[in-house]
Structure 1
Amino acid sequence: MPEPWLSADDIAVHLGVTKDTVYSWIADKGMPAHKIGRLWKFQASEIDDWVRRGGADASGPSPH
């Protein structure tokens, strides 16, 4: 069964941050997101991988 697409609200809850933080991370830190019409959609596996690689660190994505 394919992984469901999640909304910005869903990802914010998943990560324990605000929706504004999610939008900021898309713009400033390269958070993996897919624009579908006017909406941003996410897959939890992509977000989890991004976080593990250091994407949400204050210094930005890790160079690895």
Structure 2
Amino acid sequence: MTEPWLSADDIAVHLGVTKDTVYTWIAEKGMPAHKIGRLWKFQASEVDDWVRRGGAAAPEASE
């Protein structure tokens, strides 16, 4: 059985963040997302793996 594609709203709820944060992570942190027409679609398993690898982590503060 194939995994369903999630919308930006769905993945934001899944991660507990705002939709604006999702779009920022796509642009600045390489969050795995697939553009289909004008819409971004996500696979929860890809996003979960990205989070586990530290993709959503805040950058280290440089002193």
Partner of 1:41: 41
Cα deviation per residue 1:13-59 (whole Å; 9 max; x = unaligned)? Answer: 00000000000000000000000000000000000000000000011
Q: Tell me the distance in 2 between the aligned counterparts of 1:14 and 1:59.
A: 22
TM-score (norm 2): 0.93
Partner of 1:54: 54
The size of the alignment, in residue pairs, is 60
The alignment yields a C-alpha RMSD, in angstroms, of 1.1
Identity of aligned residues (%): 88
What stretches of structure 2 of length at least 5 have no aligned partner?
none
TM-score (norm 1): 0.92
- Partner-residue secondary structure (3-state), 2:40: strand
